[in-house]
Amino acid sequence: MAPGPERCSYLAENVGLLMDEVTTNIQGTARGRSEAPIRARILQAIFERRLPPGEKLTEDRLAELFGVSRTVVRQALSRLAQDGIVEHLPNRGAFVAAPSRADARHVLEARAVVEPEIAGAAACRCDAHALSRLRRHVETEDSARAGGDRGALVRLTGEFHVVLAESAGNPVFVRLLTELQALSSLSILLYARGEHSACPPDEHHRIVAAIERGDAEGAQQLMREHIAHVAAEMDLSEPVERPTGLAQALGIKPRAPRHR
């Protein structure tokens, strides 16, 4: 899909729905004809770990729960699939995406290239409105961290990087970051070493401060370090192959069974 206003408003639309509608009216808001509230509810459930990576998303059941047609559910799932949140498997249906460790490493490699550039561009181009949005966003992250709300924190710290891309004023950056961030957040849910978000506390504040000073080089460097810290917070080494049976686990070569 070509970058455009619809894609660029993705985050704002979801944040707005999550903050204003979904959280204030759990039972009622998702019932309706639009796919957007359904998509927002599914996103929230995923990042708050009520729908884990790999979980099946059954169209019929979702249509029944939300009181909408399967067509509307299909539209919601299809938008989530475009953003890398949902995977469609042939003859099996839709599932919450479950990035492998290799997927997560590839995403972090791409972020390490793109995001310092985004931070530098934001320091050059960010206007007062975008800056106050960034500041408000990091304050919301602080509240989630202080309240121990890990699901909200994973979602909000991920969204920070998309808000930053939006403040750089380049829709291609926004499109890239929307996809990279979705996969990153799912990877954090699967592979983070600690109990918190992979974005270390205070680093978003420091990046925003550099942008506020118009310090492009400083913002780039801070972002470079930040992505390295995010990677260090995740266990992305391939798991050691486990023994496939008792004999192998004990290091004993099995003998042919005796027959009496």
By CB under 5 A, name the binding residues for Zn ion.
199
183 vs 199, which CB is nearer to Zn ion? 199
Backbone angle region of 202, left / alpha / beta, with phi > 0 → left and psi within -120 to 50 → alpha: left
Are 28 and 54 contacting, i.e. CB atoms less than 8 angstroms apart? no
How far apart are alpha carbons 7 and 52 in whole angstroms? 25
- Could you tell me the smallest distance in angstroms from the CB atom of residue 160 to Zn ion? 6
77 vs 199, which CB is nearer to Zn ion? 199
The CB-nearest residue to Zn ion is 199
- Could you tell me the smallest distance in angstroms from the CB atom of residue 224 to Zn ion? 12
- Could you tell me the smallest distance in angstroms from the CB atom of residue 251 to Zn ion? 44
The 3-state DSSP class for residue 93 equals: strand
Task: Name the strands in the sheet holding 93-96, side by side, starting at the edge strand that comes first in the sequence.
Answer: 56-57, 93-96, 86-89
How far apart are alpha carbons 187 and 198 in whole angstroms? 10
87 vs 141, which CB is nearer to Zn ion? 141
- Could you tell me the smallest distance in angstroms from the CB atom of residue 199 to Zn ion? 3
Q: At what angle do helices 35-47 and 171-191 cross, to 10 degrees?
A: 40
- Could you tell me the smallest distance in angstroms from the CB atom of residue 157 to Zn ion? 5
Compute the chain's Rg from CA coordinates: 21
94 vs 230, which CB is nearer to Zn ion? 230
44 vs 157, which CB is nearer to Zn ion? 157
